């Protein structure tokens, strides 16, 4: 592919994790195409500016992506690197996901307070305070341990670790992928099995967003696309799209493509819970990876019929006002 002296600009948020991800894409492209100049443009999003309110109170559609997408549409940047879990299931007109990268471990981890000798989540003492900014985690935690006190936390990884050290919390829950990417693995007390906490939709994967019809950039990033991750997350995102959920709705999923002899099977587990964890509706489905979209939608319909529709209706009565 002829890319001699080409310039490519990546749009990214400015957090340590976002920049790690953007630089990983930058380096991958530089390694694959020796004659291109790949730069990174840092763009501040609404989600980066509002740090004193829970995500569930300020709306989440495009919270971490809208400003970056505007830069993409105005051709200020050529591609955007997102944590796939931050990317809304409905993209603005003119934009598409050009590649989904190989997924890191999608599970959550428990980071105990430095002074807490109990390393595992569910072995914490009665009434322990666990920090998280996620309704998904809150719902599943309280479903299993109604005695837990949930402490609200926002901010980047370094900010959260500092808050934990200064607190009396037993610990906090984070996505393993971010903790590993920033080199904080030694702080992990436990990698939480997906049967205990289902991850967020797309967790652990990167979504590379581009303009529709931009064949030059599409070809450039095609080598970063990972089929198995893409199909697993397409199923997860189809599930979420059918439910019209987001950060303000407790939804967990775990999609993966498994090899069984000479065949591949896409397996998807998913859950919808009430904010207080008192009710949880969950299920699973499997089929050929090429049917990812259909599988995700079908499982959503099954859960809706099984009571998820009632949970979602109740949550949306107190729907947050979306910030323009």
Mind telling me the catalytic residues?
86
Instruction: Judge whether 190 and 130 are in contact, CB under 8 Å.
Output: no
Burial-class residue 305 by CB neighbours within 10 Å (0-12, 13-18, 19+).
exposed
Burial class (CB in 10 A: 0-12, 13-18, 19+), 96: middle
* E strands present in 122-226: 129-131, 149-151, 171-175, 190-191, 206-211
Q: Which of 21, 33, 24, 285 is nearest to 8 (CA)?
A: 33
What is d(CA 135, CA 137) in angstroms, rounded to the nearest whole number? Answer: 5
> 10 Å Cβ neighbour count for 149?
12
Nearest in space to 195 (alpha carbons), one of 107, 259, 300: 107
> Angle 191-187-249 (CA atoms, 0-180°, nearest 5)?
50
**Cα Rg of the chain, angstroms:** 20
């Amino acid at each position: 592919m002829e890319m001699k002296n080409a310039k490519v600009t990546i749009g990214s948020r400015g957090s340590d994790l976002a920049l790690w991800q953007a630089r990983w894409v930058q380096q991958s492209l530089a390694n694959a195409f020796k004659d291109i100049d790949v730069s990174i443009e840092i763009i501040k999003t609404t989600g980066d500016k509002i740090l004193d309110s829970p995500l569930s109170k300020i709306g989440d559609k495009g919270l971490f992506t809208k400003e970056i997408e505007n830069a993409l549409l105005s051709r200020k940047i050529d591609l955007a690197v997102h944590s796939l879990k931050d990317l809304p299931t409905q993209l603005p007109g003119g934009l598409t996901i050009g590649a989904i990268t190989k997924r890191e471990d999608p599970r959550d981890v428990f980071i105990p307070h430095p002074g807490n000798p109990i390393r595992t989540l569910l072995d914490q003492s009665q009434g322990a305070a666990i920090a998280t900014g996620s309704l998904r985690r809150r719902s599943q935690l309280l479903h299993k341990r109604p005695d837990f006190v949930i402490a609200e936390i926002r901010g980047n990884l370094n900010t959260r670790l500092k808050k934990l050290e200064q607190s009396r919390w037993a610990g906090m829950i984070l996505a393993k992928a971010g903790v590993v990417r920033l080199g904080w693995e030694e702080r992990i007390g436990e990698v939480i099995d997906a049967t205990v906490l289902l991850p967020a939709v797309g967790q652990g994967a990167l979504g590379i967003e581009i303009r529709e019809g931009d064949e030059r950039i599409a070809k450039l990033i095609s080598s970063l696309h990972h089929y198995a991750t893409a199909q697993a997350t397409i199923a997860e995102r189809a599930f979420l799209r059918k439910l019209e959920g987001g950060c303000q709705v407790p939804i967990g999923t775990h999609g993966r493509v498994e090899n069984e002899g000479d065949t591949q099977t896409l397996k998807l587990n998913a859950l919808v819970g009430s904010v207080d964890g008192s009710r949880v509706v969950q299920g699973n489905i499997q089929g050929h990876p090429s049917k990812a979209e259909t599988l995700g939608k079908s499982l959503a319909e099954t859960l809706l019929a099984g009571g998820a529709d009632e949970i979602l209706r109740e949550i949306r009565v107190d729907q947050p006002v979306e910030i323009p």
